[in-house]
Amino acid sequence: MNGTVAKHGLGARLVGNLVTSFHLTVASIRLVGSHRIVLLLPACTLAVVAVLVVAPLAFLVWSLNYHPEPTADFFEALYFVTVAAARAGNWGLAVSAAVIESYLLWSMWLIPVLTAVLYFSTAGMHIATQQIKRQQPDLRVAFGVANANFGRLLALAAFNATIYAWGRYIVFVGLGVVPFAGAWIARGLRLVLDSVTYVMLPVVVYERAGARQAFRSAWRQIKQTWSGLLVGSGLVFFAMFCLFEVFAWGLAQRALGMATTGILSLIVAAVLYALATAAAAALRAVLYWYATTGEVPPGFPTERLPRIGERTTFTGVVVDAAEAAPISV
């Protein structure tokens, strides 16, 4: 009997979180619609990440075609432990060293990628903060906040890249988990990390907290208040993307044929990515300022938000509510 009640209670909470997340997502999209220029920020993110992916690959292909010997020497120096072990005939050590060195290089490559994502997310978040504070949204000021916090964003990116890359290493190599199960464990790790980062960013930017301090305070807030809402918001954004993408794909197949389907689907995906990312940045700002000051922008359903017992900053640092800029203490 108690088990049945618990199941019903869990189901009711999940449905309630989804309904709440839907209303908050709609309100966030309306907030973005009142200042549409923020939709350019996700496009900037995609452009920078594409450059960070395409440029190294293009350079590698070019160097292999036109300068194979120096390229081989470069990789030999890069994987010097692997090469030395292979030449000594210790293939077990060579394989282990190759895996470890690859994860190390991957985590280092993730740092500039995540820094770019966090940089443009900060600008989008501050545009929403200006709207919450009833200020005129100014993209220059938003980028000024991102520039002023660039070092902290870089440290946060390094923190996240280290946890995610070496978490995957532990799952797949250290624990020897099979690929299918390991992939789901890695996705779960990424989901948790994304949720914590979602709350960490305003703490890092507005309270000038370090990555470890922001992680602890964000994790505490998620467990106490925001876990259901963050999960619900993620499911709402994911469901919206899937529905619109499937609809666009089916419509294009019937009306335009397969040749144009891929292009249209790509455009729809890019538009949805821009809208979802901008709305997520706005919602992040709303949740932070609601939790710390009780302020929300016009049109946000405060009755849908969790009740906050004590309104204070996550780390105890004083925040200037008028200018949304942190004060050193």
User: Per-domain residue ranges for the chain?
Assistant: 16-288
Contacts of 265 (CB under 8 A, 6+ apart): 245, 248, 249, 252
Cα–Cα distance, 49 to 44 (Å, whole number): 9
Q: Are 314 and 203 contacting, i.e. CB atoms less than 8 angstroms apart?
A: yes
Task: Look at residue 129 in the predicted model and tell me its pLDDT.
Answer: 94
Residue 235 contacts residue 227 (beta carbons within 8 Å): no
Bridge partners of 326, per DSSP, are 319
Report pLDDT for 205: 94
Q: Which of 51-55, 65-69, 170-174, 201-205 has the lowest mean pLDDT?
A: 170-174
Is residue 314 classed exposed, middle or buried when 0-12, 13-18 and 19+ CB atoms within 10 A define those classes? buried
Q: What are the pLDDT digits (tens) for 219-243?
A: 887 777 776 666 656 666 666 556 5
Q: How far apart are CA 275 and CA 266, in angstroms?
A: 14
Buried b / exposed e across 149-168, counting CB within 10 Å, b at 16+? Answer: beebbbbbbbbbbebbbbbb
